[in-house]
Chain A
């Protein structure tokens, strides 16, 4: 643990907030269209309708805010899932929650031409919930009940299944493929601010509840029996945390498509910095998740300029080596 006492942790939190704001600014300024921070300032104060000003207010700003919100949500969902399942590999993407939400949205948008943003959000929640409940049920079947290994296998199977469904469906329907391909790879680009605003209330609710249950999550992390013995209502807490996970991952997918690796990587980084107390891990993870996605999205603009790499690909490039590291360490430790 990098930061030892509460004073250092408060400082770390403040630095993370400042970094997040800096990266939001950087995301607004840097990119293919050459802009400066002065231009950005002008664009918000007296917008003259120039190309640069339009790019800043209608493209870059939504993009930056979406990256921050989505990164934050996926990271917090990852923390809750890892504690809930006692599994260091748990995250919305590995356990198929993102894929479930993604499949639901693809079907809704292409097959039923649903365009209403609120409706898409709820469809994403439903898809996330179906995948999460599916993983839980499959992982619980059998004599010894829910074990981390069975849960991981069930999650991997669920992720593969929904991804295959989506692919199979898109192979049949080529027009639909064009419509959703970039979204499916995970991207925060080309999204309007309205999309974020329609989902934001659910995300804020998710962040808030996650923070409120953080000290209860500490108790739960000591094991179900110990937690129940200490008078924690574990069933209620698990249902609550499950709802938060569904809101945050479903909401993130509805906005940006299934973006991987933030949910698994960030909680581990956060714990390395502030230790295992959820009252610190949850807010720090949220901030770091936003920072990582902003960073990945800025890099995505420069890798093959003037083309852009989907940000989901960027997070995968950053996340894969880390994932292998955690997988080796996590299973050796047990």
Chain B
């Protein structure tokens, strides 16, 4: 099976600073892939470049085998959606207006709004559970609802691949789980390929089929969370001491960091273990 996305010899820079260096990455189809890494390691930059929001210095990004640089941006938008980090809707925009924008790639001068557009928008509202909010303005919604509305917009785009840059940032725990459950369901039921950046390593291990750990402009490790996440990797990628144990509910890796704080049990050794 062809990969959903592949990068070849990809180098990304901001000015003269190299962020990602000669990266070869394959993102499998129909799976949830999560990029992890420390602040400023370039995981968001990599995602933006895959979404064609940032031009690579050298190398190429392939979308299902063909070079994206040679495809029209509207055609790409029919196959791959991107939700940037904390997007800001203009004041007064309603949820319905927001979700409808997801149909932009399908509109032309002649064909403005069709029944298919209407149906996709309604499906997106339903999948994200925000039908009742469709006439509210986006700025009047809570953080979790707002993020659902934006995800509904990317769903209306009706693409096989969805990229999300830190979709759970600024959300409380309940809404983080809610958003990740929604994405997990989309992957399970509709077989969509999901690629996202997450900060919470434990949630990443629970929801991802495939983890990409980024460090020093390169991929440090890639694979199933249960195969790649261990205390050595966390030490190398995040520069942090931790124990990796097993999530008692899901059996996925669970990372427990060392550090200061109140310790109310007797512990044989602390850190440097």
Interface residues of A (CB under 8 A from B): 1, 215, 218-219, 221-223, 225-226, 228-233, 271, 275-277, 333
Contacts and interface: CB of A to CB of B under 8 A. Distances in A.
Interface in B48-88: 48, 51-53, 72-78, 81-84, 87-88
A170 to B, nearest CB: 41
A230 B101 contact: yes
A231 B77 contact: yes
A222 B90 contact: yes
B92 A223 contact: no
- Which secondary structure dominates chain A's binding surface? loop
Contacts of A271: 92
B101 A225 contact: no
Contacts of B92: 1, 271, 275-276
A231 B101 contact: no
A241 B98 CA distance: 22
B155 to A, nearest CB: 13
B152 to A, nearest CB: 13
A7 B48 CA distance: 41
Contact of B73 (A225, A226, A232, A277): A232
B73 A218 contact: no
B104 A231 contact: yes
Among A221, A223, A230, A275, chain B packs the most CB atoms within 10 A around the CB of A230
Contacts of B84: 223, 225-226, 229
Nearest to A88: B91
- The size bracket of the interface on B is 20 to 34
Interface in B104-125: 104-105, 107
B101 A219 contact: yes
Contacts of B82: 225-226, 229
B104 A219 contact: yes
Given A223-B84, A225-B53, A225-B84, A230 B90 contact: no
A276 B98 CA distance: 11
Contacts of A275: 92
A233 B87 contact: no
A333 B92 CA distance: 12
A228 B52 contact: yes
A222 B101 contact: yes
Interface in B218-256: none
B51 A229 contact: yes
Given A219-B101, A232-B73, A333 B91 contact: yes
A230 B104 contact: yes
Given A219-B101, A277-B97, A228 B73 contact: yes
